[in-house]
C-alpha cells in the first residue's frame, strides 16, 4: 500500500509540474503574438525582413577574420519605429567586439554591449560621400573603441567596434553601395 501511495504522489507531482511548465510557456508566448512588432530576438536578417517588413538591413560585405558571422544576436522591432541591432563576437575570445544598429525615427532601442568609457576625439568624417561622425575613444578596460554614425536615407546607422577607427571605417564603407 505504501508503494502505491508513493507512485500516486509522484504522478500527481509530475502532472502538476507539467501543467505549470505548459502554463509558463503559454504566458511567455502570448505577449510575442500580441505585440509581435516590438523589440525581440530574431534568428537571421531574412527573418527580420519577412516578419517586420523592414526592406533594407545594412550588413557589411567586409569583416575582419577575427569576427564571427552570423551575428551572435539580432534584435529588431517595427514599433514604435523600425530598428535593427546586430551584435558580433570575436572568434578567439567570444567577447562582443562589433555592434551595428540602424533605426528610423528614434534612438537605437537596445543598450549596446559595448560602451565608450572615454572619448579622445570626435570628428566629422566623409563616408563614401555621406556625412558621418567618427568617435574615437577607449572601452571600459582601456582597449581602443570607435564609433561611426551616419544617415542612410531615413535611417540612422551606427557601427561601434572594440578596435581602431581604421578597421571600423573599412566595415562601415562595405555596408554602403
> In terms of Cα–Cα distance, which of 163, 122, 113 is closest to 143?
163
Per the CB < 8 A criterion, the answer to whether 122 and 135 are in contact is yes
pLDDT digits (tens, 9 = 90+) for 46-100: 988 888 888 899 999 998 889 988 999 999 988 888 999 999 999 998 888 999 9
Residue 34: pLDDT band with limits 50, 70, 90: low
Distance linking the first and last C-alpha atoms of the chain: 78
- Are the C-beta atoms of 79 and 113 separated by less than 8 Å? no
State the number of CA atoms in the 13 A half-sphere of 141 facing the CB: 6
For 93-107, write each residue's pLDDT tens digit.
Answer: 888 899 999 998 766
Contact 147, 138 (CB under 8 A): no
Q: Can you tell me the distance from the alpha carbon of 45 to that of 4, in angstroms, rounded to the nearest whole number? A: 55
Mean pLDDT of 32-47: 75
* pTM listed for this prediction: 0.76
pLDDT digits (tens, 9 = 90+) for 128-159: 999 999 999 988 888 899 999 999 989 999 99
Amino acid at each position: 500500500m505504501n508503494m502505491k501511495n508513493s507512485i500516486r504522489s509522484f504522478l500527481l507531482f509530475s502532472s502538476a509540474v507539467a501543467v505549470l511548465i505548459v502554463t509558463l510557456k503559454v504566458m511567455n508566448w502570448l505577449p510575442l503574438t500580441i505585440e509581435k512588432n516590438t523589440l525581440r530576438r530574431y534568428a537571421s536578417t531574412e527573418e527580420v525582413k519577412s516578419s517586420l517588413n523592414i526592406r533594407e538591413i545594412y550588413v557589411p560585405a567586409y569583416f575582419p577574420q577575427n569576427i564571427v558571422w552570423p551575428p551572435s544576436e539580432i534584435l529588431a522591432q517595427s514599433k514604435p519605429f523600425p530598428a535593427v541591432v546586430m551584435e558580433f563576437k570575436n572568434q578567439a575570445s567570444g567577447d562582443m567586439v562589433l555592434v551595428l544598429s540602424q533605426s528610423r525615427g528614434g534612438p537605437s532601442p537596445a543598450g549596446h554591449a559595448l560602451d565608450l568609457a572615454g572619448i579622445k576625439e570626435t570628428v566629422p568624417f566623409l563616408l563614401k560621400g555621406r556625412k558621418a561622425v567618427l568617435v574615437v575613444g577607449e572601452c571600459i578596460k582601456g582597449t581602443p573603441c570607435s564609433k561611426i554614425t551616419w544617415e542612410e536615407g531615413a535611417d540612422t546607422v551606427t557601427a561601434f567596434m572594440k578596435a581602431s577607427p581604421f578597421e571600423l571605417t573599412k566595415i562601415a564603407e562595405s555596408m554602403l553601395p
